[in-house]
Amino acid sequence: MNAPVHHQTLVTPAHPKALASGQFKVTARDVDVYYGEKQAIKDLSIDIPDRSVSAFIGPSGCGKSTFLRCINRMNDTIPTCRVTGDIKVDGNDIYDPNIDVVQLRAKVGMVFQKPNPFPKSIYENVAYGPRIHGLATNKTELDEIVEKSLRKAGLWEEVKDRLQHPGTGLSGGQQQRLCIARAIAVNPEVILMDEPCSALDPIATARIEELIDELRQNYCIVIVTHSMQQAARVSQLTAFFHLGTLVEYGDTDEMFTAPQEKRTQDYITGRFG
């Protein structure tokens, strides 16, 4: 394979560990995304390191969700959507016709903007994924996975006595953590989160942010957020999107203190948004 051709908009991440190992979890090269005739992502290239939180920020409509949804091919569900370019997870092209989307989505989990638990019991919500992927051979193993996932999502203590209650009966923040537990239950390596806190109150938001920080130890997390404070709080890396292009991607602290691009500067100082 040729050496990666770095597009001018690509800013090599300054994350020390990732750079040191030279390993990136998700890499994208020259990605274009179209909805019918309309281009939503233009010529995007990015390298996202493992075991870190990358935040996507940018004005609304700039294509953050669109690109996020490319990473687990959620865009496949939109008939008009067309993706060109290269996106790799662990070095495997995920748009390769031989790739099994279902396997990919188990590996690249997703948490949505609005908490969307299944209208089933808390237990069933978490157990569903492991069950369809055959991760547990018996009930005990399944129970273990459910407990482990709920613990990782910081929800176990709150729901352990009512696992059979409907997941939709939980509070908004709890529902979102349930969705995170559901995503974790299938052993993903990447977790995509599309504005996971936008429907939550500040306390629930803080809980989720804490959780994201803990999950960073084991997962590659990509989070879209409309709040720059949130990006600053939870992420190590920040990507700034504007009008379908990736303007700048780099160390969060640097990005907020000394952005390299004028447009980033303008955005984070609130000159447009």
Partner 1 sequence: MTEVRNELVKKRYAAERRFKFYGAAALTLTALFLAALLVDVIIKGIPAFHETSVEIDVKVDPADVDPANLPGGNYDKMIKEAFRAEFPEVTGRAEKKALTGLLSTGGADSLRSMVTADPSIIGKTVTVPVLLGDDADLFLKGLLTEQKTVPGKATLHIARLEGEEGFVLTGDTTGEAAEKQLGLTPGDIVRFKGGAVRVTGVQNGYLKADPVLPPDPSVSMLDAGQWDVVSFSVPEANRRINDNQALWLDQLKSEGRVKNSFSWRFFEAGDSREPELAGIRGALIGSLLTVLVALSLALPLGIAAAVYLEEFAPKNKWTDLIEVNINNLAAVPSIIFGLLGLAVFLNFFGLPRSAPLVGGLVLALLVLPTIIIASRAALKAVPPSITEAALGVGASKQQAVFQHVLPLALPGIMTGTILGLARAFGETAPLLMIGMVAFIADIPQGFTSAATVLPVQVFLWSDLPEMAFKAKTAAAIIVLLVVLFALNAVAIYLRKRFERRW
Q: Using CB under 8 A, list all residues that contact partner 1.
A: 72, 74, 77, 79, 101-106, 109-112, 114, 116-119, 128-129, 132-133, 179, 182-183, 185-186
Angle at 267 between CA 264 and CA 272, to 5 degrees: 140
With CB under 5 A as the contact rule, the residue among 65, 75, 176, 235 that binds Mg ion is 65
Shortest gap between Cβ of 122 and partner 1 (angstroms)? 14
E strands in the chain: 26-35, 38-48, 53-57, 81-89, 92-93, 108-111, 190-194, 220-224, 237-242, 245-251
Spatial distance between the Cα atoms of 73 and 92, rounded to a whole number of angstroms: 13
Could you tell me how far CA 218 lies from the centroid of its own chain?
14
Partner whose binding site includes residue 186, from ligand ADP, Mg ion, partner 1, none (CB under 5 to 8 Å by kind):
partner 1
Relative to beta strand 53-57, strand 220-224 is parallel
CB-nearer residue toward partner 1: 35 or 256 = 35
Shortest gap between Cβ of 167 and Mg ion (angstroms)? 24
Partner whose binding site includes residue 152, from ligand ADP, partner 1, Mg ion, none (CB under 5 to 8 Å by kind):
none
Torsion sign, CA atoms 213, 215, 221, 223:
negative
Shortest gap between Cβ of 39 and ligand ADP (angstroms)? 9
CB-nearer residue toward ligand ADP: 224 or 234 = 224
Partner whose binding site includes residue 183, from partner 1, Mg ion, ligand ADP, none (CB under 5 to 8 Å by kind):
partner 1
Would you tell me which residues interact with ligand ADP (CB under 6 A)? 35, 40, 58, 60-66, 78, 80
Pure H helices in 78-201: 101-107, 122-132, 139-152, 156-159, 172-184
